Amino acid sequence: MNVPGLKYIAGFVAEPDEAALLAAVDAEPWLSDLKRRVQHYGYRYDYKARKVDPSMFLGPLPAWARPLAARLVAGGHMATVPDQLIVNEYEPGQGITAHVDCIPCFGPVVCSVTLGSQCVMELSAAKGDEAESILLERRSLVVLAGESRFRWRHAIPSRKSDEIGGRVLPRSRRVSLTFRTVIVQGR
């Protein structure tokens, strides 16, 4: 993987914990105003304005997310405990367009945990034509730091299966947990 700053950790979540996390997520209400369903914790993120401000504080992360947030620090992936979590649900055929996470809104490391189904994440240099694909397996963690966080876009193509390394991998429902640290603007 030639994306500087990107780290991939297979098997970050144990199988019984994956099931428990999915059950916890599914017991919470979903927001349905995007093409895919999402849940926001810690701070609501305004996708249109690309901003977070103190009025968007929702409360601490839910109890089911806190052990993972703590492990991200204990494992040396994040310097401080993340205070924002977005849960994304992708049914087969759904994705997320290429983007760099809001630079003034969020700190230097973004961590995303994959539950339920693998998928391919595509990374492309924000300037230039370098591109890479990475398979995010169920229960894995991907860490975007350094250039991969600030100078590369990431996307999940909207399709029902992925082709990587000569294999075709059908997708099923994927739920991702993306942990960030908010830089509160206007405080």
Ligand X SMILES: O=C(O)CCC(=O)C(=O)O
List residues near ligand X by CB under 6 A: 86, 88, 96, 101, 112, 154, 156, 176, 178
Nearest distance from C-beta of residue 27 to ligand X, angstroms = 20
- Residues sharing a CB contact under 8 Å with residue 99, sequence separation 6 or more, in sequence order: 153, 154, 155
Closer residue to ligand X in complex, CB, 36/71? 36
Closer residue to ligand X in complex, CB, 112/181? 112
Nearest distance from C-beta of residue 88 to ligand X, angstroms = 5
Closer residue to ligand X in complex, CB, 62/157? 157
Closest CB to ligand X: residue number:
176
Nearest distance from C-beta of residue 8 to ligand X, angstroms = 12
Neighbour-count burial for 170-183, b at 16+ CB within 10 Å, e otherwise: ebeebbbbbbbbbe
Closer residue to ligand X in complex, CB, 83/101? 101
| Residue 186 burial by Cβ neighbours in a 10 Å radius (0-12, 13-18, 19+) | exposed
Nearest distance from C-beta of residue 87 to ligand X, angstroms = 9
Q: Is 48 left (phi over 0), alpha (psi -120 to 50) or beta?
A: alpha
